[in-house]
Structure 1
């Protein structure tokens, strides 16, 4: 959830308010549409620096993820609210207080995506440089453990609030944590009682072996970056194995595969929509595509399909799982512009067409064991959110693949995650 959509050109599309970046009412409306579609949670990334070419490009992040979700929490009732809170520069006490406050305000719907920061642009906005990778992950592990300990530092029944006796809280049940690691520390306690779900749910959206270890130890939700069913299945298996190694039930961790839908009545109309969204970006995308296929492509031939000679010479990059699909689309005879419009160089599968095509993709991956669920990256929120809620969700419901009402009120229950308050006792010691 940025202000406009997940495609850079969304801010220029017909019907989109170009001032939506600073209009919280717009984001609240989008969240309410997602809740109407019975989605389990909203996910707000964070990048505390300016990286766009703002002469021509919109800023892709919300003004502030936690403040935005706090506003949304007051206008929604069931949908979960997940935000990124990077551990590289933030103190555990600050993270613990902010996310648990959101959890209280939302009545148990908050989630924390715990990741390190890796970009020097971000580091330049803080008081110390990026640490080495190993140190970043050491700090992440310490931070998560201290945060969870702080979340549990106010006993479940410590808040007495007995007006007759005048006793506000049982002080003996509000205890400091006194935890110190190599990188971070906190005395505590956190002066916030438990929410309806106890404490926020941990998410993880990193990658590599270090990210997998974080997810296996702490997370109940993982946002994956995968292009093929085989890759998604392998990542899900690896995640479940990591959870088991840490003494957890693999079913406690849900793997969400990304999907980028562009919904329109026909495939042609959807491709035209994506072409409009990509305006001004074709030159760099053609350059990227020719690297993937190992052949020379000409930006001046956007309206023409690849020649038989180009198709014969093309060799999909063995280092890029998107390459085979790119060549497959090119061999169908689409113009170079249309090949790119199919999303062949996007970082998640792009489904361009009617709602049933999106539902078919999700069903195929789910039934193949490639995902427990999906994180849906809508191209343009202004109409794309409604299209997903009104066209895709009913198809999934008719097929018996998606719920027809919220069965629970908290994010933890939405995910089927076990109860937890404070540190997971299986990881202590």
Structure 2
């Protein structure tokens, strides 16, 4: 296969950023005056065998988008052995222009450099335009220790299980700073109604003791591989506040596919310390309430598979059941008594029955509407020579090396949808 690695990176104008809107508040952003973690990732990637094109998507505030791209380009230039393309606002403007020329509209909310889901969608569009047949998503705060990382990423992708099920999306897992893949979330009294870490650990323990590939209820967005027959059919959800990776698993199930966990594919996740736990919990509130409403809405659509919380045990099922609003309010209140950021937690508690609920109700159907557009968009953008040339020329102005030679030659567009006929007939020993 011919994979491209896509790495979103987030740059801010100042040390402390309290956040923007629902979808533009990020877990961490690197101040433009600091080096951040990206160079650490690049250093680790130098030893990965078979590594080809790397695309870095630069997310920043509009006021510093030029400086942010220049900063990331400066970092990338220090790794001449890596084929790194830095994609910032100028390149995104070219994508928008081409979409308009093709009659697809700008779709700036759905595809772009603002919001977790939209940024990942831009990465998928870039892969489609440049002709890659698979995408591997990494995060900028990770370290890859395994020289065979990319080979393991491709293991099973595009193959069939013994029952003939195509494997079109797979995830690995993270080791944290303690050297474990288990959540460090503490079982404290104030988390009585929010046992997210405990549920996650139970799920991971089950997966790690099973076969190499098994159906997964979880996704590590920074260790995620997608076959083109998946990403040409399904986009990420640009309306979710965070957790767009786990949401993608739910979307795959709704549209008749699945995601698989590879218990031999891993990396280290070493994020900087969270500046505001309360702000992050507020984003979780928007996330889970939106997800709950979205799943409820999906069950009213006759063309979607029914996904119930009971099929998602032990995680994330409990966070998608009725009563989630009450659990959120209780957890926010209890944490406000015992944790730092008391004011942020109290504000989060109010959001559960206020703006977060309203946001979920207003937006829960929009992803499904966008899905009517996405397959056609990807079919028309695939191997688009005009946009590819414009992107290469734009990249060359910043001395970025996009290697079109690694792209797959143009191929006839296939009908939208997941077609098991294009997958290999090799059948793997995998848990069904």
Greater RCO, 1 or 2 (C-alpha within 8 Å, sep 6+):
2
TM (norm. structure 2) is 0.26
Structure showing greater Rg: 1
TM-score (norm 1): 0.27
